[in-house]
Amino acid sequence: MPLAIDVHDLVKRYGSRTVVDHVSLAIEQGRICGFLGPNGSGKTTTLRMICGLLTPDGGGGTCLGHDLVRERDAIKRQAGYMTQRFGLYEDLTIRENLEFVGRVYELDRLKERVDGALERLGLATRQGQLAGALSGGWKQRLALAACVLHEPKLLLLDEPTAGVDPKARRAFWDEIHAYAAQGITVLVSTHYMDEAERCHEIAYIAYGELMARGTADEVIAQSGLTSYIATGPGADRLAPKLRDAPGVTAAAAFGATLHVSGPDRERLLAAIAPLRTDSIKWTEAPPTLEDVFIHLMGRAHDNAPGG
Amino acid sequence: MWARLIAIVIKEALQLKRDRLTFAMMFGVPIMQLLLFGYAIDTDPRNLPTAVIAADDSQITRTVLSALANTGYMRFTHRPASEAEANALLQRGEVQFVVTIPSDFTRRLVRGERAQIAIDADATDPMAAANPLAAAQPAIMQALARDLVGPLAGLRARPDAVELVLQRRYNPEGKARLNIVPGLLAVILTMTMVMMTALAVTRERERGTMENLLAMPVRPIEVMIGKILPYVVIGSVQVAVILFVSRLLFDVAIEGSVALLALGTALFIIVNLAIGFTISTVTQNQLQAMQASIFILLPSILLSGFMFPFRGMPVWAQWLGETLPATHFMRLVRGLMLKGAGFGDVTGELLALLAILLIVTTVAVSRYKVTLD
pLDDT of amino acid A304: 54
> What value does the mean pLDDT take over residues A183-190?
94
> What value does the mean pLDDT take over residues A263-285?
87
Beta bridge partners of A250: A261
CA distance B185 to A100: 34
Is B5 near chain A, with CB under 8 Å? no
> What value does the mean pLDDT take over residues B142-169?
74
My answer on whether A203 and A125 are in the same domain is yes
Q: Read off φ and ψ for residue A273, nearest 5 degrees.
A: -50, -50
Report chain A's mean pLDDT, rounded to a whole number. Answer: 89
For residue A101, pLDDT beyond 70: yes
Q: Which residue has the higher pLDDT, B291 or B155?
A: B291
Within chain B, which residue ranges are assigned CATH 3.40.1710.10?
48-169
> Does residue A293 lie within any of the structural domains?
yes
Residues of A in contact with B209 (CB under 8 A): 87-89
> Does residue A206 lie within any of the structural domains?
yes
pLDDT, one tens digit per residue, over A60-93 is: 999 999 999 899 989 999 999 999 889 999 989 9
A-facing residues of B in 88-117 (CB < 8 A) are none
pLDDT, one tens digit per residue, over B50-74 is: 999 988 888 888 888 888 888 888 8
Q: Which residue has the higher pLDDT, B159 or A299?
A: A299
Are A72 and B372 a contacting pair at CB < 8 A? no
Choose one of A214, A245, A278: the last residue of a domain.
A214
Residue A83 Rama label (left phi>0; alpha psi -120 to 50; beta): beta
Q: Which of A46, A50, A72, A89 to mutate to test the interface with B (most CBs of B within 10 A)?
A: A89
C-beta neighbour count of A56 within 10 angstroms: 22
For residue B318, pLDDT beyond 50: yes
Q: Which residue has the higher pLDDT, B299 or B22?
A: B299
Choose one of A170, A189, A214: the last residue of a domain.
A214
pLDDT, one tens digit per residue, over A237-249 is: 888 888 888 888 8
C-beta neighbour count of B208 within 10 angstroms: 15
CA distance B175 to A47: 65
pLDDT of amino acid B112: 78
DSSP at A126: G
pLDDT of amino acid B155: 63
In total, the C-beta contacts within 8 angstroms joining chain A to chain B are 46
My answer on whether A191 and A140 are in the same domain is yes
> Does residue A184 lie within any of the structural domains?
yes
Angle, CA of B84, B85 and B91, to the nearest 5°: 90
Q: Identity (one letter) of the amino acid at A60?
A: G
Residues of B in contact with A53 (CB under 8 A): 211, 214-215, 371-372
Are B372 and A53 a contacting pair at CB < 8 A? yes
CA distance B337 to B123: 13
Predicted ipTM beyond 0.85: no
> Does residue A219 lie within any of the structural domains?
no
My answer on whether A12 and A139 are in the same domain is yes
My answer on whether A157 and A275 are in the same domain is no
For residue A305, pLDDT beyond 60: no
Are B215 and A85 a contacting pair at CB < 8 A? no
Residue B154, classified by CB atoms within 10 Å of its CB into exposed (0-12), middle (13-18) or buried (19+), is exposed
Listing DSSP states for A69-80 in one string gives TTTHHHHHHHEE
My answer on whether A196 and A237 are in the same domain is no
Residues of A in contact with B207 (CB under 8 A): 89-90
What's the per-residue H, E or C state across chain A? CCEEEEEEEEEEEECCEEEEEEEEEEEECCCEEEEECCCCCCHHHHHHHHCCCCCCCEEEEEECCEECCCCHHHHHHHEEEECCCCCCCCCCEHHHHHHHHHHHCCCCCHHHHHHHHHHHHCCHHHCCCEHHHCCHHHHHHHHHHHHHCCCCCEEEEECCCCCCCHHHHHHHHHHHHHHHHCCCEEEEEECCHHHHHCCCEEEEEECCEEEEEECHHHHHHHHCCEEEEEECCCHHHHHHHHHCCCCCCEEEEECCEEEEEECCHHHHHHHHHHHCCCCCEEEEECCCHHHHHHHHHHHHHHHCCCC
pLDDT of amino acid A208: 85
My answer on whether A66 and A148 are in the same domain is yes
pLDDT of amino acid A155: 95
My answer on whether A103 and A199 are in the same domain is yes
B-facing residues of A in 90-149 (CB < 8 A) are 90, 101, 104-105
Report chain B's mean pLDDT, rounded to a whole number. Answer: 83
**What angle separates helix B343-367 from helix B258-282, to the nearest 10 degrees?**
20
The CATH number of whichever domain residue A229 belongs to comes to: 3.30.70.330
Query: What residues make up the domain containing A88?
Result: 3-214
- How many distinct structural domains can be found in chain A? 2
User: pLDDT-based confidence at B158, cuts 50/70/90?
Assistant: low
Residues of A in contact with B371 (CB under 8 A): 52-55
My answer on whether A41 and A133 are in the same domain is yes
Q: Which helix (H) or strand (E) holds A231?
A: strand A226-231
Spacing of C-alpha A121 from chain mean position: 23
Q: Which of A140-149, B203-212, B229-238, B312-321 has the highest mean pLDDT?
A: A140-149
Q: Which of B199, B204, B212, B372 to mutate to test the interface with A (most CBs of A within 10 A)?
A: B212
For residue B27, pLDDT beyond 80: no
My answer on whether A9 and A103 are in the same domain is yes
User: pLDDT-based confidence at B250, cuts 50/70/90?
Assistant: confident
CATH number of B48-169: 3.40.1710.10
Provide, rounded to the nearest whole percent, the portion of chain B with pLDDT above 70: 89
> What value does the mean pLDDT take over residues B83-109?
87
Q: How many residues does chain B have?
A: 373
User: pLDDT-based confidence at B116, cuts 50/70/90?
Assistant: confident
Q: Which residue has the higher pLDDT, A291 or A156?
A: A156
Spacing of C-alpha A45 from chain mean position: 13
Decide if A36 contacts A198 (C-beta within 8 A): no
My answer on whether A123 and A249 are in the same domain is no
pLDDT of amino acid B51: 92
Is A76 near chain B, with CB under 8 Å? yes
User: pLDDT-based confidence at B5, cuts 50/70/90?
Assistant: confident
pLDDT of amino acid A306: 42
CA distance A186 to B37: 62
Is A165 near chain B, with CB under 8 Å? no
pLDDT of amino acid B226: 83
CA closest to A51 among chain B residues: B215
pLDDT of amino acid B140: 84
Angle, CA of B101, B102 and B107, to the nearest 5°: 110
pLDDT, one tens digit per residue, over B187-215 is: 888 888 898 888 888 888 888 888 888 88
> What value does the mean pLDDT take over residues A2-8?
92
For residue B39, pLDDT beyond 70: no
For residue B266, pLDDT beyond 60: yes
User: pLDDT-based confidence at A307, cuts 50/70/90?
Assistant: very low
Distance from CA of A90 to the nearest CA of B (A): 9
> Does residue A152 lie within any of the structural domains?
yes
Q: Read off φ and ψ for residue A111, nearest 5 degrees.
A: -60, -45
